[in-house]
């Protein structure tokens, strides 16, 4: 039942986000899909499955905070929050465009970002369950999740295309607050760091799980 709920949730969230032009609504619908991805770990019903959920939610917290912060910065400068408002953002504020792209690609699960680490462990938990106990449904769930990842790449790339390929509609300069710039830089750096060097996150979640089990 949890596996079915996972597949339905991630598919519904991604299909709902597919044609959204409002950035906040797009991210909100994508959050539904990410809840579906996280349920994959619970569907595995194993220690590795629980650990994979812990890793994914920790990484997702950073990705989502960064993405919404970027949208807030764009909305404050333009007075709106549509994909069209991102047109030419790479020319108007390269730092904001690059960090926003990092969050989007990490949400998709592309290496070498931490979002890839999170999804890797979710897939590994599901396929490990299949290897140990069988059940073709788990392979089906992994395939559904992979297809949904491809769908999410499409709508995230719509934003990236607007930022780096489309020409800006005007000469409006986007200048986020200094605190925003610091947070955006820190979040994106963390995603890159833990996408390459994920041992600290894995060790921390493993130790936390061991502690909770003993408790």
Please, what's the b/e burial string for 122-141 (b: 16 or more CB within 10 A of its CB; e: otherwise)? bbbbbebbbeeeeeeebeeb
Per-residue pLDDT at 170? 64
Per-residue pLDDT at 208? 85
Residue 141 has pLDDT above 70, yes or no: yes
Per-residue pLDDT at 176? 84
The pair phi, psi for residue 154, each rounded to 5°, is -60, -50
Residue pair 43/126 in contact by the 8 Å Cβ criterion = yes
Residue 27 has pLDDT above 70, yes or no: yes
CA angle, corner 189, sides to 187 and 193, nearest 5?
120
Mean pLDDT estimate for the chain? 91
Residue 46 has pLDDT above 90, yes or no: no
Per-residue pLDDT at 100? 97
User: Cα–chain-centroid distance for residue 134?
Assistant: 29
Calculate the alpha carbon distances from 137 to 64, 107, 123 in Å.
Answer: 30, 25, 13
Question: In this structure, is residue 210 part of a structural domain?
Answer: no
Per-residue pLDDT at 133? 74
Q: Using one digit for the tens of pLDDT, what is the confidence trace for 168-182?
A: 866 667 788 899 999
With tokens 């504020």, the residue in question is 93
Question: In this structure, is residue 51 part of a structural domain?
Answer: yes
Four-residue CA torsion sign, 198, 121, 145, 64: negative
Per-residue pLDDT at 215? 56
Picking from 88, 94, 106, the residue whose alpha carbon sits closest to that of residue 27 is 106
Q: State mean pLDDT over 171-198.
A: 90
Question: In this structure, is residue 147 part of a structural domain?
Answer: yes
With tokens 């909100």, the residue in question is 28
Residue pair 32/9 in contact by the 8 Å Cβ criterion = yes
Residue 93 has pLDDT above 70, yes or no: yes
Question: In this structure, is residue 212 part of a structural domain?
Answer: no
Question: In this structure, is residue 211 part of a structural domain?
Answer: no
Number of domains present in the structure of the chain: 1
Residue 77 has pLDDT above 90, yes or no: no
Question: In this structure, is residue 162 part of a structural domain?
Answer: yes
Question: In this structure, is residue 150 part of a structural domain?
Answer: yes
Residue pair 92/173 in contact by the 8 Å Cβ criterion = yes
Residue 135 has pLDDT above 90, yes or no: no
Q: Using one digit for the tens of pLDDT, what is the confidence trace for 95-130?
A: 999 999 999 999 999 999 999 999 999 999 999 887
H helices present in 134-166, as ranges: 136-164
Q: State mean pLDDT over 170-199.
A: 89
User: Cα–chain-centroid distance for residue 22?
Assistant: 17
Residue pair 163/85 in contact by the 8 Å Cβ criterion = no
Residue 38 has pLDDT above 90, yes or no: yes
Per-residue pLDDT at 129? 80
Instruction: Give the contacts of 148 (CB within 8 A, at least 6 positions apart).
Output: 10, 11, 14, 33, 36, 37
Q: Which residue has the higher pLDDT, 92 or 155?
A: 155
Domain coverage including residue 89: 2-204
Q: In whole angstroms, what is the distance from residue 149 CA to residue 58 CA? A: 19
Question: In this structure, is residue 16 part of a structural domain?
Answer: yes
């Amino acid at each position: 039942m949890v596996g079915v709920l996972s597949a339905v949730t991630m598919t519904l969230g991604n299909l709902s986000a597919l044609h959204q032009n409002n950035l906040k609504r797009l991210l909100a619908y994508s959050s539904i899909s990410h809840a579906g991805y996280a349920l994959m770990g619970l569907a595995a019903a194993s220690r590795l499955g629980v650990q994979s959920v812990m890793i994914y939610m920790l990484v997702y917290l950073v990705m989502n905070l960064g993405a919404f912060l970027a949208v807030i910065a764009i909305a404050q400068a333009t007075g709106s929050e549509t994909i069209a408002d991102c047109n030419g953002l790479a020319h108007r504020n390269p730092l904001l465009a690059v960090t926003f792209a990092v969050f989007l690609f990490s949400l998709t699960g592309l290496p070498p970002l931490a979002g890839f680490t999170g999804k890797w462990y979710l897939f590994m938990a599901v396929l490990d369950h299949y290897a140990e106990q069988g059940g073709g449904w788990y392979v089906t769930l992994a395939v559904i999740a992979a297809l949904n990842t491809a769908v999410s790449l499409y709508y995230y790339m719509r934003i990236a295309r607007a930022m780096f390929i489309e020409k800006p509609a005007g000469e409006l300069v986007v200048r986020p607050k200094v605190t925003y710039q610091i947070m955006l830089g820190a979040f994106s750096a963390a995603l890159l760091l833990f996408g390459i060097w994920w041992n600290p996150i894995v060790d921390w979640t493993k130790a936390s799980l061991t502690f909770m089990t003993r408790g």
